[in-house]
Amino acid sequence: MTETRVKDVFPISKGIMSVISEAGGYSFNDDMDLRLLANCGRRCITPVIEMILDGAAGFSDELLQRLASLILAEYKDSWDRVFTTLTMEYNPLSASQYTETENIASEGENSDINKEVKQDDVSTSDILPDNFISDGKSTSDTTASGKTKNNTTRTLTRTSNSTSYKPVDLINSEIDMRIKNRFVARILDDVKNYIAMPIY
């Protein structure tokens, strides 16, 4: 096992954390490399770092880019998911919240038929065509119809707490989760485990 320590080959500024920040689309501050080396302490480099260096005394820009690509391929998806979760806006007191949309459509048709039969007002003295035979009645038919349509959309947002925890327990759990999953601290820990041996 190599005896080369992390602090002996990694730069204290513009090092691996700076390259990860730029290549991964993050916005770490300039002291992230210093924080990384402080976290590594006197730990020695891992075999993968030794192979990347291949006898070199330290990391050049090209080697830093290569190492950053390896680390991002290993951790970036997980980091992005954690970041999305930690920056999500939600109410910790609400265990479940959902939206219901209800569409109500109604259609109707009505018809009104009126038929009226009455005695003919035409007197026998009126002049009628020769071929007309009156039955003495007249008929009046009236038909009315119509259609109606009605569409109604109603949106309901329901919030419920289906757990048995008290509100103070949910708030404490939220605080504890935020403390344990600090985004920058998680990234520093992952990079440390990638470049430094777990024991001195």
Structural domain including 142 reads 1-200
**Number of domains the chain contains:** 1
pLDDT at 63: 96
Q: What percent of the chain has pLDDT over 70?
A: 55
What is the predicted pLDDT for the residue at 35?
94
Q: Which two tokens stand for residue 47?
A: 């075999």
pLDDT tens readout for residues 130-187: 555 555 555 555 565 666 667 777 776 665 555 555 666 666 666 666 655 578 888 9
The 10 Å Cβ neighbour count of residue 6 is 22
- pLDDT reading at 188 higher than 60: yes
29 vs 112, higher pLDDT: 29
pTM equals 0.57
Please report which helix (H) or strand (E) contains residue 157, including its range: strand 137-160
pLDDT digits (tens, 9 = 90+) for 24-57: 999 888 899 999 999 999 999 999 999 999 989 8
- Give the contacts of 200 (CB within 8 A, at least 6 positions apart): 41, 42, 43, 44
Distance CA 152, CA 3 (A): 75
- Report the pLDDT value the prediction gives residue 158, as an integer from 0 to 100: 61
